[in-house]
Amino acid sequence: MTSQKTPAPRVPRESLAARISSLKTSKAKSYAAFIQKGDQPGMTPCWGAIAARFVADFATDEERLAVLDKVIEEGDRRPLYLFLETSRARPKLLEALCARAGQLPVAVQRNLAAMTEAATQVAAHLDDFDPSAQAVWNGGEDTKRAERELLASRVGELTALSYFVPDAVDPAKEPPAAPIITPRRGTGRTPR
C-alpha cells in the first residue's frame, strides 16, 4: 500500500500573489505583498481594495499588460472581471484581451463580447471567441445588455468590500451585549 500525499489546497490569494510577484519588478512585488497581507495590520484586503490598488499602482497600459498574462495564467475569473472592468477606456488593453480570448474563461469572453467599448477589437478577433461568446456578439442589444448587467453585478459584488477584519475575540468569551432600552408604548418615555 502506497501512501499518496494529498496536494495542499490552492489558496487563490497566495497563488495570484506568487504569479504577480514572479514578474520581478518592485511594483509587482509590492502589489503581490499587498494582495497577501495588505498594508494595515489586522486588515486583509478584499477585491475592492485589491482592484483600487491595481488601478493606482499600474497606471500605464504597458504595466497592466505585463500583469495580464499572469492574471490569465491564474485562471480565476474574479481578477479577470476586475481587469476587464478597469480596462473599458483603454483600447490597447481591450485589444490584448481580445487577442487572448481563447485563453479566457467563457464567462469573461461573453462579457467582453458584450462591451460596447470593445466592439472594434471583438470584431477583429471574433473567430478566437467561444461559440457562446460569439452568440452574445451576434445577439441583439437585449442579449448584450443582459451580459453587461451581469458583469456590473459581478464587479459590484467583488468590490463591495475593501477590507476584512478577522474577529480578534473568541465569540464564546465576548462580553454580553448591552440591554436595549425602548420607549414605553404610548408614553414617549424610556423606562427607568
- Helix or strand run (H / E) with residue 7: none
Residue pair 40/166 in contact by the 8 Å Cβ criterion: no
To the question of pTM greater than 0.85 for the whole model, the response is no
Residue 178 has pLDDT above 80, yes or no: no
d(CA 22, CA 32): 9
Degrees (nearest 5) of the Cα angle 81, 46, 110? Answer: 10
- DSSP-derived 3-state class of residue 163: strand
pLDDT of residue 89: 94
- DSSP-derived 3-state class of residue 180: coil
Degrees (nearest 5) of the Cα angle 164, 53, 145? Answer: 90
Distance in Å from the first CA to the final CA of the chain: 73
Residue pair 108/178 in contact by the 8 Å Cβ criterion: no
For residue 70, give the nearest of 21, 117, 35 by alpha carbon. Answer: 21
Residue 16 has pLDDT above 70, yes or no: yes
Question: pLDDT confidence of 171, banded at 50, 70, 90?
Answer: low
Question: Lowest-pLDDT range, 45-49, 58-62, 147-151, 178-182?
Answer: 178-182
d(CA 54, CA 82): 9
pLDDT of residue 170: 56
Question: Lowest-pLDDT range, 7-21, 53-67, 135-149, 173-187?
Answer: 173-187
Q: What is the 3-state secondary structure (H, E, C) of 44-63?
A: EECHHHHHHHHHHHCCCHHH
Q: Which long-range contacts (CB under 8 A, 24 or more apart) does 134-138 make?
A: 136/110, 137/113
pLDDT of residue 31: 96
> Rg (Cα) of the chain, in Å, rounded?
23
Residue 103 has pLDDT above 90, yes or no: yes
90-112 average pLDDT score: 97
Distances (CA, A) of 150 to 22, 76, 98, 135: 32, 17, 19, 16
Residue 26 has pLDDT above 90, yes or no: yes
